[in-house]
Amino acid sequence: MSDCEGERSEPATDGGEDAPAFEAARYPDGSITYPAHPVGPGGQEPVGTVDLSEYTATVITWTTSTATPPGVREPNHVAVVEFDVDGEPVRAIGQATTGDLAIGDDVEPVYCEELRDPEAGIREPASQEWDGFRFRPVE
């Protein structure tokens, strides 16, 4: 399983081989949430999306899990990060590419085709999506 360290996140612009968008929802009151919700903080439906892969984020906190579920890398570094999208804070949680993190570090989303091993779970591999984003420190 790739740790996605060398892969760069590129927004999907043509539906081709580029990475998919890391989509958050934008609501009429200006708030943005990740993941998207059918109803936003102001009680309204989303009016658009924001591709978070176009932004860097700041590490709010992080941890390392050494007792991971089947198919998830061990150790598994996980971070809570905050994006600043036009002055609106957007928080996300996800795997980090390294345990060499500190609160306040800048990170960028990196697309990974496999966040965990599809063959290690109890479900049929075709029944789930295995891709997503990890957070990599910005150098």
Q: Which bin fits 44, alpha (ψ -120 to 50), beta or left (φ > 0)?
A: beta
User: Which pLDDT belongs to residue 13?
Assistant: 32
d(CA 19, CA 10): 6
User: Which pLDDT belongs to residue 94?
Assistant: 93
- Evaluate if residue 115 carries a pLDDT over 80: no
Q: Which of 6-10, 121-125, 133-137 has the highest mean pLDDT?
A: 133-137
CB 118 within 8 A of CB 128: yes
The 10s digit of each residue's pLDDT in 46-93 is 999 999 999 999 999 999 999 887 878 889 999 999 999 999 999 999
Q: By percentage, how much of the chain surpasses pLDDT 70? A: 78
User: Which pLDDT belongs to residue 2?
Assistant: 44
Q: Which bin fits 70, alpha (ψ -120 to 50), beta or left (φ > 0)?
A: beta
d(CA 38, CA 45): 6
User: Which pLDDT belongs to residue 7?
Assistant: 41
CB 89 within 8 A of CB 82: yes
- Evaluate if residue 11 carries a pLDDT over 50: no
Q: Which helix (H) or strand (E) holds 112?
A: strand 106-112
User: Which pLDDT belongs to residue 74?
Assistant: 86
- Evaluate if residue 5 carries a pLDDT over 70: no
